[in-house]
Amino acid sequence: MHVAFICDEYPPGVHGGVGSLTQTIARRVVEEGHRATVIGTYRSTHDLAELDQGVQVIRLTSRGRVRGVRALADQRRLWRRIAQVHAADPIDVLEGPEPSLWAAPTRLGFPTVVRMNGGHRFFAEAEGRPTAPARSWVEARSIRRADDLVAVSEHTARRTAALLELGDRPITVIPNPVDVASFHPGSRPMVPGTVVFVGTICEKKGVRQLVEGFPEVARRVPHARLLVVGRDQLDRVTGESFTVALRRSVPAELTDQVVFVGPVEHDRVAELIAEAEVCALPSHMEALPVAWIEVLASGKALVASTSGPGPEVVEHGVSGLLVDPHDPAAIADALVAVLTDADRRDRLGAAARQRAVERFSIDELIHVNLDHYRDVHEGWAQRRG
C-alpha cells in the first residue's frame, strides 16, 4: 500500500504537532512494509526530495510575494507533483489536515482523508475570536471534498461537526500516536525543580498564565526553574513577539529561573522532557496534543488543562493533574503539589507511562490507521464500481 500525506511542517526544522504526527505515522507505515510519501510547500530557496527512514519527503518551494497569489500557485504546483508521484507509484490513499484539499482536482485516482487536528473554526471558537471568511471557506471546501474524515479526539469530532454543520456525516476517531520507544522514562537524569513547557509560544497554549503563576511556584519552591520551549508567535492583538512580552513580564529576581529556550529539533524535545521534574502544558484548547502524550510516554508528571479533550487524555489525579488553564494560581498550586511530593510525582509518572503505552502507542495505533486506510480505499473502489 502507498500512503501519501500533505504536510507543510515535516521535521526537521520548524514544526508543530501535525509535523510530528505525520512523521511518526509515515515512518511506521514504512516499517510495516508499505510506502509513504510526504509532500508539502516550504519557505525555502529550492525544491528538495529526500528520504527520512524510508519515507519519501518532497519539499516544494513556496513562491511569490502576494499571499493569495502565492497560495494558489503553491497549490497548483503541489497537485501537479502529487499527480507525478501517483503516475510513478499509484497512491492508495492521500491524507492531509483540514485545509489541505481545497484546491484538489475534481477527480482523483485515489481516495482522500482529512485528519482533523483542530481547524480554523475550531480554534477561533476556543479563543473567542471571529473567523476569517477566506480561511473558513477553504476549510469547509476541503472537508466537503474529502472522501473520509478522521478526528483525533471525540471532542474534536463533536465540535468540528457542529461548527461546520456536517450533520450525521461519519467521523472516525483515531487518537494521535506517540513512539513510546523514543519517548520513555530514564533517557536522561531528571533535574530537580525543573518545570518544562513545550509548544508554540502563544496565548492559546496557556503559557502566559503559566509564566504569571511561576513567581508563586518559585516562592514556595525556591530552586524551581521554568524552561519555555517552542517557536515564537506574534500576539494577535498587539502584533508583538509573544516571547518578548513574556520575558518583560518576568520579575527581575526570577530572570535566571525562567529560561526561554526557543524552538528545538524533535529529538531535543525528548531530552528536555526527560530532564523535567514536572511538565506544564495548560492549553486553553487542543484537539489532542502530541506534546501531552509525549510527556505521558516519558513517564513524567503532567499538569494539563480541563478544557476540550483534557479528560480523554489524562485521568485527573491518576495519570496527571488537570487545572483551569485560565487560572495562574491553580496552575501554580498543581506544580507545587508535584514539586514538593516525590511520591506523588512518581505515582503520576508511572501511571502516565502506562496510559501512553495502553492508549496512545504507535505500536498499536499504526494497525488501526493502516486498517482504516484499507477500508477507505476499498470503499472508494467499490463506489467507483
The answer to whether the beta carbons of residues 334 and 321 sit under 8 Å apart is yes
Length of the chain (residues): 385
In this structure, the strands spanning 35-42 and 225-229 are: unpaired
Residues of the chain where predicted confidence (pLDDT) is lower than 70: 13-14, 64-68
Which cell numbers hold the place of 147?
472522501
In 3D space, the residue among 47, 342, 347, 312 whose CA is nearest the CA of residue 190 turns out to be 342
CA 260, 266, 267, 273 torsion: positive or negative?
positive
Residues near 69 by beta carbon (within 8 Å), at least 6 away in sequence: none
Question: Which pLDDT score, from 0 to 100, does residue 266 have?
Answer: 76
Question: Which pLDDT score, from 0 to 100, does residue 65 have?
Answer: 67
Same fold, 2-177+362-384 and 194-360: yes
Residues near 291 by beta carbon (within 8 Å), at least 6 away in sequence: 17, 198, 199, 269, 281
Q: Where are the domains of the chain?
A: 2-177+362-384, 194-360
In the block, cell 475570536 appears at 129
Pick left, alpha or beta for residue 74 (phi over 0 → left; psi -120 to 50 → alpha; otherwise beta): alpha
Distances (CA, A) of 179 to 2, 267, 366: 21, 12, 10
Cis amide bond preceding 11, omega within 30 = no
Question: Which pLDDT score, from 0 to 100, does residue 68 have?
Answer: 66
DSSP 153-206: SHHHHHHHHHHTT-TT---EE-PPPB-TTTS-TTSS---TTEEEEES-BSGGGT
Question: Which pLDDT score, from 0 to 100, does residue 44 have?
Answer: 80
Question: Which pLDDT score, from 0 to 100, does residue 66 have?
Answer: 58
In this structure, the strands spanning 112-116 and 148-151 are: parallel
CA dist., res. 121 & res. 132, Å (int): 9
In the block, cell 508499505 appears at 34
CATH class of 194-360: alpha beta
3-state DSSP percent of the chain in helix, strand and coil, to 5: 45, 20, 35
Secondary structure (H, E, C), 313-334 = HCCECCCEEEECCCCHHHHHHH
Which cell numbers hold the place of 77?
504546483
Q: Quote the CATH superfamily of domain 2-177+362-384.
A: Glycogen Phosphorylase B; (3.40.50.2000)
pTM of the model: 0.91
Mutual angle of helices 154-163 and 120-127, in 10-degree steps: 90
Question: Which pLDDT score, from 0 to 100, does residue 173 have?
Answer: 98
Which cell numbers hold the place of 152?
483525533
In 3D space, the residue among 75, 59, 53, 54 whose CA is nearest the CA of residue 14 turns out to be 59
